[in-house]
């Protein structure tokens, strides 16, 4: 990579990280006195049964489904927004399910959720959890590869520092999206610590002391939700209970909510 290209990428990444940042004083309150939940989402029904594996915990294991966290988080949102399950319909063969999953995964997640009659129908199963448990191979094949998510240009943001203003904006935007009933996909990192460069999906917020807890679905942990906290006084996020992550300060960025970000 030449120096001009590196400089351009740096400017673009910093600009994207800081776009829309308001002054921290006199801004609207976070609304910490109320719990917010995305109403159309159920953790036990609308998430994948299988996890994204952590490669460091499975050294030398062939065929490991690892480094697919961005694929799974985006895919879960796409199923919530664009798919409808009908257990009364006859089941398809594996190729048929692969094609249905591909149709769901081809839709961009920043589009509005479709009405029920306009959704892609997944026959023979009641929900995503059941479907991904019984048709794991078809779901994985239909969701596709991970390469484009690993080289997505917004991943550059993890190497740059961010301000308290920026993180406060992210917290506000999560809350506004939850108020509107939408899930919020987040890139979370504690770089340069080589532990957390990951994505989660926020589906609930609740008051917590001087800040707000965001309850998240973590592709690495289908068993239970995780928690990340925004401390309003420090204007920063904290890994409260994120899978395989020590509690501590993190940075958060929204993902896949527009054509560029």
Q: Tell me, yes or no, whether 121 and 178 share the same domain.
A: no
Residue 260 backbone phi and psi in degrees, to 5:
-100, -25
Q: What is the pLDDT of residues 169-221, one digit of tens each?
A: 999 999 999 999 999 999 999 887 666 688 999 999 999 888 999 999 999 99
Average pLDDT taken over every residue of the chain: 85
Q: What is the pLDDT of residue 56?
A: 78
Domain boundary among 145, 172, 189: 145
Give the N- to C-terminal CA distance of the chain in Å, as an integer. 22
Is the confidence at residue 111, as pLDDT, over 60? yes
Q: What is the pLDDT of residues 230-261, one digit of tens each?
A: 999 999 999 999 998 899 999 999 998 887 76
Domain boundary among 93, 118, 145: 145
Q: Tell me, yes or no, whether 87 and 137 share the same domain.
A: yes
Rounded CA separation 228/212 (Å): 9
The answer to whether the beta carbons of residues 39 and 181 sit under 8 Å apart is yes
Domain boundary among 145, 171, 189: 145
Q: What is the pLDDT of residue 25?
A: 35
Residues 6+ apart with CB under 8 A from 15: none
Binned at pLDDT 50, 70 and 90, residue 133 comes out as very high
- The arithmetic mean of pLDDT across residues 68-84, rounded, is 96
Q: What is the pLDDT of residues 26-65, one digit of tens each?
A: 444 566 568 999 999 999 999 999 999 987 777 778 889 9
Total of domains in the chain: 2
Classify residue 238: in a domain, yes or no: yes
Classify residue 105: in a domain, yes or no: yes
Residue 164, domain CATH:
3.90.70
Chain CA centroid to CA 127, Å: 19
Classify residue 21: in a domain, yes or no: no
Q: Closest by alpha carbon to 194, among 245, 152, 228?
A: 245
Classify residue 25: in a domain, yes or no: no
Comparing 196 with 110, which gets the higher pLDDT?
110
Classify residue 45: in a domain, yes or no: no
Classify residue 42: in a domain, yes or no: no
Alpha helices, DSSP H, located in 19-163: 69-82, 94-105, 128-134, 136-143, 147-150
- Which residues, listed in sequence order, are joined to residue 229 by a DSSP beta bridge? 213, 238
Rounded CA separation 150/143 (Å): 15
Q: Quote the pTM value.
A: 0.85
- The arithmetic mean of pLDDT across residues 60-72, rounded, is 89
212: containing domain: 30-37+150-254
């Amino acid at each position: 990579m030449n120096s001009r290209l590196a400089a351009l990428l740096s400017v673009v990444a910093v600009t994207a990280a800081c776009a829309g940042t308001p002054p921290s004083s006199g801004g609207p309150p976070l609304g910490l006195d109320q719990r917010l939940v995305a109403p159309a989402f159920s953790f036990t029904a609308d998430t994948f049964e299988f996890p994204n594996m952590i490669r460091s915990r499975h050294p030398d294991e062939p065929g490991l489904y690892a480094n697919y966290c961005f694929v799974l988080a985006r895919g879960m949102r796409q199923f919530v927004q664009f798919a409808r399950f009908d257990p009364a319909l006859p089941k398809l063969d594996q190729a048929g399910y692969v094609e249905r999953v591909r149709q769901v995964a081809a839709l961009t997640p920043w589009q509005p959720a479709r009405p029920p009659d306009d959704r892609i129908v997944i026959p023979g199963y009641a929900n995503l959890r059941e479907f991904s448990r019984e048709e794991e191979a078809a779901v994985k094949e239909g969701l596709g590869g991970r390469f484009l998510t690993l080289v997505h240009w917004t991943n550059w943001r993890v190497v740059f520092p961010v301000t308290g203003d920026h993180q406060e904006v992210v917290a506000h935007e999560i809350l506004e999206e939850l108020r509107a009933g939408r899930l919020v996909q987040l890139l979370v990192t504690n770089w340069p610590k080589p532990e957390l460069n990951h994505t989660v999906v926020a589906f609930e917020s609740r008051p917590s002391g001087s800040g707000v807890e965001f309850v998240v679905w973590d592709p690495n942990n289908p068993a239970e939700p995780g928690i990340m906290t925004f401390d309003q006084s420090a204007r920063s996020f904290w890994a409260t209970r994120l899978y395989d992550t020590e509690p501590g300060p993190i940075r958060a960025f929204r993902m896949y909510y527009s054509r560029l970000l």
